[in-house]
Amino acid sequence: MRICMFNNLFPPIKSGSSHFTYRLSKMLVERGHDVTVVAAKIPGSAARESLDGIDVHRLECWMLPQLEIAHNFRYLSYTFFPSNVRYVKRLLIDKGIQVLHQHGQIFDTALTSAYLGQSLALPLVNTIHTPVLHTVPFYLRTLVLLDKLFVKHFIIRYAKIVIAPDKTVVDNINERYQHPWIEVVPYGIDKPNFDPAKGIEIRRKYKIGDRPLILSLGHVHNLRDRCDLIEAMPHIRKAVGDVVLLIVGDVYTQKPVELADRLGLKDCVIFAGSVPHSEVGDYLAACDIEAHWLSNAPGLGIAAMEAMSVGVPVISSIGADDLGEGLLKNGENILLIERGSIESITNACVALLRDPDYRRQVGEKGKRVIEENFSWESVTDRMEAVYKKLIAS
């Protein structure tokens, strides 16, 4: 098959959808498919390159300012220029593309893929990686309105199939877009390189020593600000001792930084900033548990699933059936907390930090869940089946 992926975000940009687009494209190339990627050309990236057999075309764009309504995300770009649309149209025709695959409904390559899918009569699939949400009520109302009016009618309606990675996204699609054809294809998980010696280096780098370490992976913004986890830290430290919280990811809001300072936790709440994806395993090797954003953000996230894949026990506020009915078992392969409850977060962290045997048990069972259900082989099988349905229809 000849497939064209669309996503404003693509390496070197670090994000969940960027990594998923790259990894899926790489798997498809390895299976003999011809894969083209259309993305935004951010400063420092090449306009055209071959990356692991993927034909990457990056479009000239305007880099937009960081905006509160967009959680101060630094890679907002505008690519929807007539010249870019003409370029992509010619590219699709010249390469004889059979399937268009849009990643995300938020960025403007979704407009290009929807328009060209219609004008060239090419089947389009759209993967919704995350619902559009906000913690500020006015922004949330605005985003929901735009989602139900603009996104639904100008983007989602032109997709033949909409893909959701989990139940949270399925519910969001049903509530906002009412699309008639939804397929569930979960995220594929690469097991990070896990070297205990590198974990010791991370502990040395941040002067953690042998203190218990809670790791929290992922960018820090309004929906994932970790404030509830930081608020739980005094209670966790009172019960367990000198615990450290290490937050890894770009910081787009200062609320958690200011909260840690106000609670007198600057010495034990560390904001490491963004790190290359290749180093994630080093941080996982350093930690005792991984606690993801717990109050406002839906879904589990790729980073937490990567933690589970190497046997690190994970604490999350995801619903028990969000990854599939019966897969997650609270207290057995993951610890699920009551969203936004400081007491619930504290109890989960304390239970794991106090009992090394329990940590190992939860970690090993979580690892089996990922290995048996979220391998890239199985995910690619399911995506190929979706493409075949598209072409057949």
CATH of the domain at 355: 3.40.50.2000
User: Is 213 in contact with 246 (CB distance < 8 Å)?
Assistant: yes
Inform me whether the pLDDT recorded for 176 exceeds 90. Answer: yes
Residues 357 and 226 placed together within one structural domain of the fold: yes
- pLDDT of res. 298: 63
User: Is 152 in contact with 345 (CB distance < 8 Å)?
Assistant: no
pLDDT one-digit tens code per residue, 130-141: 888 788 889 889
Inform me whether the pLDDT recorded for 340 exceeds 90. Answer: no
Residues 15 and 147 placed together within one structural domain of the fold: yes
Inform me whether the pLDDT recorded for 297 exceeds 70. Answer: no
Residues 246 and 170 placed together within one structural domain of the fold: no
3-state secondary structure of 62: strand
pLDDT one-digit tens code per residue, 229-280: 999 999 999 999 999 999 999 998 999 999 999 999 999 999 999 998 889 9
Residue 301 banded pLDDT, cuts 50, 70, 90: confident
Residues 6+ apart with CB under 8 A from 171: none
Average pLDDT, the chain: 93
Inform me whether the pLDDT recorded for 342 exceeds 90. Answer: yes
Residues 369 and 380 placed together within one structural domain of the fold: no
- pLDDT of res. 311: 96
Rounded CA separation 382/163 (Å): 11
Residues 258 and 381 placed together within one structural domain of the fold: no
**Range list of β-strands (E), the chain:** 2-6, 34-40, 48-51, 54-59, 62-63, 77-78, 99-103, 124-127, 161-164, 182-184, 213-217, 244-248, 269-273, 289-291, 314-316, 335-336
Domain count, the chain: 2
Q: Which amino acid is at 245?
A: L
Residues 108 and 247 placed together within one structural domain of the fold: no
- pLDDT of res. 206: 96
Residues 103 and 220 placed together within one structural domain of the fold: no
User: Is 134 in contact with 143 (CB distance < 8 Å)?
Assistant: yes
Inform me whether the pLDDT recorded for 293 exceeds 80. Answer: no
Rounded CA separation 369/330 (Å): 13
CA dist list (Å): 39 to 34, 142, 198, 213: 17, 26, 33, 37
- pLDDT of res. 381: 95
Rounded CA separation 15/159 (Å): 23
Closest residue by Cα to residue 126 from 8, 251, 33, 7: 7
- pLDDT of res. 339: 84
Phi, psi of 222 (to 5 degrees): -55, -40
Q: Name the pTM for this structure.
A: 0.77
Query: Which domain, by its residues, includes 246?
Result: 196-373
Residues 215 and 79 placed together within one structural domain of the fold: no
Closest residue by Cα to residue 380 from 16, 72, 30, 100: 30
Residues 206 and 153 placed together within one structural domain of the fold: no
Report the percentage of the chain scoring pLDDT > 90: 74
- pLDDT of res. 242: 95
- Match 């049903």 to its residue by tokens: 174
Inform me whether the pLDDT recorded for 283 exceeds 90. Answer: yes
- pLDDT of res. 88: 98
Residue 296 banded pLDDT, cuts 50, 70, 90: low
Rounded CA separation 169/186 (Å): 11
pLDDT one-digit tens code per residue, 4-39: 999 999 999 988 899 999 999 999 999 999 999 999
Residues 269 and 164 placed together within one structural domain of the fold: no
The DSSP bridge pattern shows strands 77-78 and 62-63 to be antiparallel
- Match 């929906």 to its residue by tokens: 223
- For 197, how many CA atoms within 13 A lie in the half-sphere containing its CB? 0
Residues 131 and 228 placed together within one structural domain of the fold: no
Residues 256 and 151 placed together within one structural domain of the fold: no
Q: Higher model confidence: residue 73 or residue 261?
A: 261
Closest residue by Cα to residue 156 from 186, 188, 132: 132
Inform me whether the pLDDT recorded for 61 exceeds 90. Answer: yes
pLDDT one-digit tens code per residue, 106-164: 899 999 999 999 999 999 999 999 888 788 889 889 989 999 999 999 999 999 999 99
